A = this chain, B = another copy of it.
Amino acid sequence: MRVTIADVAREAGVSKTTVSRVINTKAEVGGSTAARVREVIAELGYVPSSGAVGLARGSSRTVGMLVPSLTWPWMGEVLQGVVDTVEAADYGLLLFTCNRGAESVERFTSQVSARAFDGLLVVEPENTLDHLTALHRGGLPIVLIDDRGHHPEFPSVVTTNHEGGASAARHLQAGGRTRPLVLTGPHHFGCVRDRLDGFLSVLPTDLVVQGDFTEGNGRQVVEQLLAEGQRFDSVFAHNDVSAAGVLRALHAAGRSVPGDIAVVGFDDIPMAEHTAPPLTTVRQPTRRMGETAARLLLSHLGGTATPDGPVVLPTELVVRLSAP
């Protein structure tokens, strides 16, 4: 049998009200009474039922997090940042994915309405944006972790994609490269446009190919370009995964990196250190993005107003052997 507040009250010879006050450290309890209650609580090993507390208070002390996939290489860092922050605030974290399309969105939405959590963190909301907007308007606090789009309706955490692209260009330029290939991600992503604009503002080129962020695509694009006889002395790939594909295609074609061609990626996922050669890349502060988003949401739940614009965290160029 679980120990309830009633058990504690009876054992301590006080009312449930008093026990509740002691638990929640309201000032108005007599010193000796409080001490006795605390003793009984310890002795009985009493812990309040979170469900009951949530019901009575109308909040669950839990935040939800909705992610498109858990296996993306940088997701672990984001999650860790979120969990650390949320746990430190004594909140729980309820995790959802939306990779089963309509079905999971529906399931998810009903969880929301069930008030299983007080606020929501969302990573790259793409296909759920309509739902989210409705929920947000319905009063659910939401914070986006999103490097892909611009959603002024929501508070969000983003990174400096434009400047990141520019820093890659400056680095290649300083290394004497003049004819870069830019392998972008899908153009409908805001981050892709930003990275591209930033890069081109420093080092213009007409050799821009739209990719899809996958390794296979990175490999394929380079293979084809080389077959066509296209000439370039460097590559800026919009994420590390496709940069890995680029490296493999160059290697297979007998081009030396960085001798013939320098390569710069974006993200700094764990793999970046281990490609051949190790990848120079524009680092996204993924863990800090998770922390920041969680902190934003928590302080919003605590009553603080959320900032108007997105919170912007800086990228950082990490120089390795692929573009020294």
Contacts and interface: CB of A to CB of B under 8 A. Distances in A.
A115 B274 contact: no
Interface in A97-118: 97, 99-100, 104, 107, 110-111, 113-116
Nearest to A108: B87
Top 10 closest pairs, chain A to chain B, by CB: A276-B276, A47-B113, A50-B114, A70-B80, A71-B76, A51-B54, A70-B79, A50-B116, A51-B55, A271-B271
A52 interface: yes
Contact of A95 (B55, B75, B83, B104): B83
Say how many copies of this protein the assembly contains.
2
Given A55-B51, A93-B94, A116-B92, A71 B60 contact: no
A4 to B, nearest CB: 11
Interface in A44-86: 45, 47-55, 60, 62, 69-73, 75-77, 79-80, 83-84
Given A47-B113, A84-B97, 14 more contacts: A2-B115, A49-B55, A50-B114, A51-B54, A51-B116, A62-B94, A70-B79, A75-B76, A84-B100, A87-B100, A93-B95, A94-B94, A270-B271, A276-B276
Nearest to A277: B276
A89 B53 CA distance: 26
23 contacts: A47-B110, A47-B114, A49-B55, A49-B114, A49-B115, A50-B114, A51-B60, A51-B114, A70-B76, A71-B80, A76-B76, A83-B95, A83-B97, A84-B100, A87-B96, A87-B100, A90-B107, A93-B95, A94-B94, A270-B271, A271-B274, A274-B275, A275-B276
A56 to B, nearest CB: 9
Contacts of A95: 79, 83, 93-95
Main SS of the interface on chain A?
mixed
A115 B51 contact: yes
Interface of A: 2, 45, 47-55, 60, 62, 69-73, 75-77, 79-80, 83-84, 87, 90, 92-97, 99-100, 104, 107, 110-111, 113-116, 244, 270-271, 274-277
A70 B83 contact: yes
A168 to B, nearest CB: 20
Contacts of A97: 80, 83-84, 87
Nearest to A244: B274
A1 to B, nearest CB: 10
A71 B62 contact: no
A52 B50 contact: no
B271 A111 contact: no
A55 B114 CA distance: 13
A57 to B, nearest CB: 10
A47 B107 CA distance: 11
B93 A48 contact: no
A77 B76 CA distance: 10
A270 B84 contact: no
Most buried by B among A62, A75, A99, A114: A114
Contacts of A244: 274
Contacts of A276: 274-277
